[in-house]
Amino acid sequence: MKNTAVLYIHGKGGNAAEAEHYRSLLPNAEVIGFDYRAETPWDAAPEFAAFVAGLGHEHIVLIANSIGAYFSMSSGIADSIERAFFVSPIVSMEKLIESMMTWANVTERQLEAEKTIETAFGETLSWDYLSYVRTHPIAWDVPTEILYGETDHLQSPDTVRSFAEAHNAGFTVMPGGEHWFHTPEQMRFLDEWMKELL
């Protein structure tokens, strides 16, 4: 993987320093973490596009986690990406928002009327966000491998499996794995998964 840039995109609450973990797995590549500021896909699109354009690399491998995968797919950078590795990706923001509405006992009619609703679990439901993701479907044709934790509570296995099948992506499930890969066992599983695919 010489002359290759590896771009790491963190999930919510994460940061670019997490890219350090991948340097030992990819010693011949320049591993770059991206501390984006965007909190919505419409803000992410220009920010991600500008960052990727500024890298100046012909070959970019993407490693994206959780919502970082969704922002990457929705930002129009696919043409610049040679290969992608997604860890616990949000592949359907619509389904995630609908799930959060169910958890918060909020109907579509309520959300449309109130526009934004704060939830007890710390997320703000937004009618504009839901409307945006419904009118901006994902277009992604990059060779992709997905690692999914069996107990991931943010995206169902059927949702991720359907995405993988529709996009010809590899799909690996860690038995007992969580949405957030962070324990020594989970990180070892992630490392072995990547080593086998590189």
pLDDT tens figures, 141-157: 999 999 999 999 999 99
- State the Cα–Cα distance between residues 157 and 139, nearest whole angstrom: 20
- State the Cα–Cα distance between residues 57 and 100, nearest whole angstrom: 38
Q: Identify the pLDDT of residue 28.
A: 86
The whole model's pTM is what?
A: 0.95
Beta pairing, strands 4-9 & 30-34: parallel
Task: Give, in order, the Cα–Cα distances in Å from 98 to each of 25, 43, 101.
Answer: 37, 21, 5
Q: What is the tens place of the pLDDT at every residue in 68-122?
A: 999 999 999 999 999 999 999 999 999 999 999 999 999 999 999 999 999 999 9
Q: Which amino acid is present at 92?
A: S
CB 64 within 8 A of CB 9: yes
DSSP string, 125-175: EEHHHHHHHHHS-----S-EEEEEETT-SSS-HHHHHHHHHHTT-EEEEET
